[in-house]
Amino acid sequence: MAKLEILEFPDPRLREVAKPVATVTDSVRTLVDDMLETMYARPGIGLAATQVNVHQRVVVIDISEDQSEPLILINPTFEVLDHQLHEYDEGCLSIPGFYETVSRPRQIRLKALDYQGESYALEAEGLLAVCIQHELDHLEGKLFVDYISPLKRNRIRTKLEKAHRQRA
Ligand code: QAP
Ligand code: CO
């Protein structure tokens, strides 16, 4: 397994739209393994392939307390079951140190392929529903800061750009 580098806002590569996985091969499974290692190391609860500069429709999620319930989402899609909006303070491994309140539909039904390439479906609400919607946004080149005011977004951009310059 290998830890991967995570792109940070406002890197333009976070805006790419990911392509469907044609077949779940061993190389896709290696990507999944590396993404889980990368997410668990930070630690995080969700990571999309876009964030590690791989523009394929692959996401990993684990909202358990003890990193014991990895959920693999390949070519995921969802439909909204309950349109009532639910607010959550979201963060992102690509926007480290910043959290903002975002409203999203409360309940969804996910369809995806698993590690073996088998299709599955699940209904989600609460944190899992938030996380799935947040990660699927990444595959479309969208970030949670797109839902907040331009003023707040620009403040975050300026602070992260400064941090990146100091790191370089
Ligand atoms: C997306 O986010 C998410 O700022 C996953 O310094 C977040 O794993 C979905 C993280 C909240 C639903 C609710 C963020 C780690 C991890 C940071 C994450 C940080 C270190 C974020
Ligand atoms: Co994110």
pLDDT of residue 1: 83
What CA–CA distances, in Å, run from 93 to 14, 27, 48?
12, 23, 10
Element (H, E) at 120: strand 119-125
C-alpha distances (whole Å) from 51 to each of 6, 8, 61, 116 are 5, 8, 13, 23
Protein residue whose Cα sits closest to atom 12 of ligand 1: 131
Ligand 1: list residues with CB < 6 Å: 42, 44-46, 88, 90-93, 96-97, 130-131, 134
Output the pLDDT for position 84. Answer: 98
Q: Is the Cα dihedral 134, 137, 141, 143 positive or negative?
A: negative
The string of pLDDT tens digits covering residues 57-101 is: 999 999 999 999 999 999 999 999 999 999 999 999 999 999 999
Residue 39 CA to residue 106 CA, distance in Å, equals: 25
Over the chain, what is the mean pLDDT? 98
44 Cα–ligand 1 center, Å: 5
